[in-house]
Chains A and B, each alone.
Chain A
Amino acid sequence: MTSADWPLWEVFVRSRRGLSHTHAGSLHAPDAAMALRNARDLYTRRSEGVSIWVVPSADITASSPDEKDPFFEPAADKPYRHPTFYDIPEGVRHL
């Protein structure tokens, strides 16, 4: 395995307690332990994180941009899922 074959890892960083991990970027590393160390050096040089996840990019299953419209369409015609859909008389409070 040369460095050219090192897998790509996606890096997720939790910036502080109470927040979820968010995608910071990606990097190459031969294994998970090195990926974590590299991620620390690359993405948290200024205390940007309190926790890091590394995930092999190849293990991510993504929706295809090509099927974007039909895939997400079921949500488009259901405005009644939003609170603003409903008419409430003025003056009614705490609703």
Chain B
Amino acid sequence: MTTTAPDARTYEAVFDATVAADERIEPRDWMPDAYRASLVRQIAQHAHSEIIGMQPEANWITRAPSLRRKAILMAKVQDEAGHGLYLYSAAETLGTGRDELLDKLHSGRQKYSSIFNYPTLTWADVGAIGWLVDGAAITNQVPLCRCSYGPYARAMVRICKEESFHQRQGYELLLTLSRGTEAQHAMAQDAVDRWWWPSLMMFGPPDDESAHSAQSMAWKIKRHSNDELRQRFVDICVPQAESLGLALPDPGLRWNEERGHHDFGAIDWDEFHEVLRGNGPCNEERISRRRQAHEEGAWVREAAAAHARKHGGTPGEARA
């Protein structure tokens, strides 16, 4: 803050003390502009990831192998939509409207997690996404339940509760395939081979190259570094893969007694940056599908608005 007004400095001191005391910042509290901007960026990217993440899985709804699997998958995709809405609401408490955020997603000015730019080629991919992609998301999100911004933390509590079903259904799906026929086992292994490395990239660039990490940690938006969470995820996955009877595609993966952690191979960050730049296998498809869904849903929004007008009782309209 460059302002010299005495009360601005007081506000900043109150903000700093609140964060230092591990208390939560709430929507109408004073907060530094950069804190607000950083939260909007992170929450928007998170919300966009939830709704774009509906696409790769929805791809398999009509081809689910049983009614049970189909019902589960529909419930999961519906949850992702719900998670997007919780997060858009949290972003809105910071003064950024939902339409503005959707515009930025549709025009490519805001990003979503690069993991969703990979295709779901087989049914086993639905399992790999649940186990690995949702597993990585949970590892990232559990600490966010203690984020310094109240509405974001509360949305994350709700999301984390729901995510555990996502991860378990994926694991169960893969286990079924792994213990099935030889072809089913091979399909499960192929899915894990393709999703393992992109899942590790979900934690973001290494700590020394992460643009926003240090400030986010100081503000207690983030509680652990990218590398720390990535290591935690690897350590969790190794025994889970063993129980699945599937191999993780990394010849460098081994237990390091001294560190008390698994060592793992080098991540192909060139691939990560390429996908981030828009050159992943499905970037175009995801955004154009999202725009199409938004445009094709216009008549529903118009009909709802017309109905509200006709029957009155729209408090917002009177005030608008």
Contacts and interface: CB of A to CB of B under 8 A. Distances in A.
Interface stretch (B130-138, B223-231, B281-289, B310-318): B310-318
B305 interface: yes
A41 B79 CA distance: 10
A57 to B, nearest CB: 9
Interface string A24-47: 011111111010000001100110
A3 interface: yes
Contacts of A76: none
Contact of A31 (B86, B99, B311, B319): B311
Contacts of B86: 25, 42
Contacts of A42: 82, 85-86
Contact of A6 (B78, B85, B316): B316
B67 interface: no
Contact of B316 (A27, A46, A56): A56
Contact of B305 (A1, A27, A59, A65): A1
A2 B303 CA distance: 10
Interface string A48-89: 000000001011001011100000000000000000000000
Contacts of B75: 45
B68 interface: no
Nearest to B297: A3
Nearest to A6: B316
B82 A45 contact: yes
B89 A26 contact: yes
Given A26-B89, A30-B305, A7 B316 contact: yes
Which secondary structure characterizes the binding site on chain B? Answer: helix
Contact of B92 (A7, A8, A45, A58): A8
A1 B301 CA distance: 10
A27 to B, nearest CB: 7
A42 B97 CA distance: 19
B257 interface: no
B29 interface: yes
Interface of B: 26, 28-30, 75, 78-79, 82, 85-86, 89, 92, 97-99, 154-155, 158, 162, 301, 304-305, 307-309, 311, 313-317, 319-320
Interface of A: 1-8, 25-32, 34, 41-42, 45-46, 56, 58-59, 62, 64-66
16 contacts: A1-B320, A2-B305, A4-B97, A5-B316, A5-B317, A6-B305, A7-B315, A25-B158, A26-B92, A29-B304, A30-B308, A31-B304, A34-B304, A42-B82, A46-B162, A58-B315
Given A4-B99, A5-B320, 19 more contacts: A3-B305, A7-B314, A7-B316, A8-B92, A25-B86, A25-B158, A27-B85, A29-B304, A30-B304, A30-B314, A31-B307, A31-B308, A31-B314, A34-B304, A45-B75, A58-B316, A65-B26, A65-B30, A66-B30
